[in-house]
Structure 1
């Protein structure tokens, strides 16, 4: 056990801190769409210039520069639009810095792995958890060249991070790369250009508490009327007082509509974003706001009635219900999903699988235990080497998206989610539970056994099953019957007391209620054999 890493304690996952709902803008006139395009292009251009200025400032940026940038944007738009643009710029810069740090850590791990393997002889075998040398001289030579490449990239990334330089693409790096390979992206140049321009538009505004309907820049009334505050250069397009433009359409939120209506009626902050989907040729409005984090229940209370252990895989969720003592109950369940195709299709598959899981857990009133997975550092090329199928497998598993969706959807249904350390759950589950749970009518899979291991770890039990009774007559002559006696149980170090009566259904020799009555037994030498049976006969015979 010395080579195993320490397993972290399980914990109850806190609920979501924000809400986002969306509806489509139906019934827009040609003038409405023209106004949205003009406003989006103008504000998008201002956002691009502001992002450039923020990136140029680097680590030397301070509050005075922030105020200066906001004043410059206010002259060309409005104070509220300027505040939304500068805040979005800072969020984008901070996200780029986090991505830069992740890339730096990835490169450092790759350099360390290659350096270690190059220092070993060719063909040297590795130990558990430590890779060995490369298989051939050709592979050794190729990896030595790759080491120099990674070291150059690592040096550039370190220099950029020390200088505060980040590389950001407004509109997305993926869409920018598609411009150089339109055929593979199945796009025409004109279609790509429309998508590129739409992604670079800026039509979002932060909420303001105390203001009318929670937002002065993009306002939605309780009746569904949508209006925006036009920037100064486009004030001539206003069709309402105070430089506002009111759209001809009416909107309504089906999901969380009552909660949204309560917020705007109380003038609480609600942020809005208007987005144009080029593929569908539709305009959408997204409303979002913060909610207080739901106070989580203690882990002991969440697991009091048992829970559902869930093992996430590339194409399904393997689940098994466990009672409070860690014993599997009933039959295992499997919730499939297909992660091929477009991003909306994959997202819908994940949501459909999760809602079936949550309804099953809600029906039984149980919490859900899931692994706290993070494959960000587990899918590197240098760690898994030639295992391309495995790297592709873990790269395609939406761990972060599934975890976030599960937490948010479970909070709506009042279901507690418990996160456990994923260390050795698959290995130990298969070792201790796969064979015992397999019957003639059910073939237990490795993933189902892992679900049992996950549930037992969340409950605070060891993954290992109860040990068999001692060999001497199945008694306590050489040890305890189980390994699950807690330290607080009195007398756990003592032998079990003798329980009167038979230990089996049929009493054997020398057992039972008349075990102490020697006269009841036919034994040689006993006084019952020396009694004269002839004395009881009449003498006349």
Structure 2
């Protein structure tokens, strides 16, 4: 009322600005109420879970399992004497340790021999050098009477032998020699990540596998890459799929190509992360092949939806809407699209 125009006078800018702010108050209040209601729903659900857990603890009933639920149910006991495949708890423990603790990852490092510091493959002799833990290495040093540190210079090679064990007959013979050649080419240039794992065969024998991962050069050269002047394949991501269109620099469709636009749909609701990633990966590969066939670049929108999704989720009114936002894998799509290109 203080800034209201007098009779016969026009409305001032200050008056118009005040009116605009007042009109936004109802919208802001509704947003805040929805945000608080959503937090209350989450808090109520967590209190319910807490109550269930406390009740289970009081009754001595636990249902916590990190790993295979099926294997846990096969633990020999009075309730499954006729159905469990294990003769004793010791046999079950061995299978459990194999399933849960049967693998070792070693992240690669370019500066290390063979591109890795713990698992080093020697292609000339087909040997694998495995670095032991400090505890095992110290036990071997103590058994041979080698000092753990210091001492004369001549004990250094002996100390290194205690830190590594050598396994003969290890070779990468798959993919018609391409895997072996890729590893040898990566040594000294790119890191090599190794994975050592063990599994039990159907007859009960322990089998070891060695897997190596290396980034193979794609041949991409920014200097010779396609420019936007020839047109781009524009992508628009939403919860139902990906819409694409071939456009010119001015934003109009490129009429000389066929097809000019399309839509690749998907349904990611209720799927696990691995299945969702597989569906998205299939879609981005199809888009990358289309762009390669047309000989144009790919333009993708700015998919930093973290803040926007938080605001939308706060204003959500039901569980189905929040599930739709959770399955809206924008960052995952952008990452896979970049890798595919």
TM-score by length of 1: 0.36
- The count of aligned residue pairs is 244
Deviation at 1:348, TM superposition (A): 2.3
Distance 1:205 1:349, change over 3 A: closer
Deviation at 1:250, TM superposition (A): 2.5
CA deviation map 1:103-154 (0-9, x unaligned): xxxxxxxxxxxxxxxxx9xxx8416xx745648xxx98x679789x79xxxx
2:191 alignment counterpart: 270
Partners of 2:223 and 2:133 in 1: how far apart? 48
Partners of 1:277 and 1:406 in 2: how far apart? 34
Partners of 1:374 and 1:386 in 2: how far apart? 23
Distance 1:325 1:399, change over 3 A: same
Partners of 1:229 and 1:389 in 2: how far apart? 50
Look up the SS of the partner of 1:250 in the other structure: coil
Structure 1, gaps ≥5 residues long = 1-119, 151-178, 411-541
CA deviation map 1:53-96 (0-9, x unaligned): xxxxxxxxxxxxxxxxxxxxxxxxxxxxxxxxxxxxxxxxxxxx
1:364 matched to 2:294? The reply is: yes
Partners of 1:258 and 1:278 in 2: how far apart? 27
Distance 1:270 1:355, change over 3 A: same
Deviation at 1:368, TM superposition (A): 0.8
Larger RCO (CA within 8 A; separation ≥ 6): 1
List aligned pairs for 1:407-418, cutoff 5 A: 407-410=338-341
Computing the radius of gyration from Cα coordinates, the structure with the larger value is 1
CA deviation map 1:367-424 (0-9, x unaligned): 11112213333444862231433321121122222211211221xxxxxxxxxxxxxx
2:167 alignment counterpart: 246
1:198 matched to 2:81? The reply is: no
2:241 alignment counterpart: 316
1:287 alignment counterpart: 213
1:373 matched to 2:303? The reply is: yes
Match of 1:403 among 313, 334, 337: 334
List aligned pairs for 1:277-356, cutoff 5 A: 283=209, 285-288=211-214, 296=222, 302-328=227-253, 329=255, 330-331=258-259, 332-339=261-268, 341-356=271-286
Look up the SS of the partner of 2:340 in the other structure: helix
Distance 1:260 1:250, change over 3 A: closer
Structure 2, gaps ≥5 residues long = 1-21, 45-61, 76-95, 141-159, 202-206
Deviation at 1:360, TM superposition (A): 0.8
TM-score by length of 2: 0.54
Partners of 1:307 and 1:287 in 2: how far apart? 33
Look up the SS of the partner of 1:126 in the other structure: helix
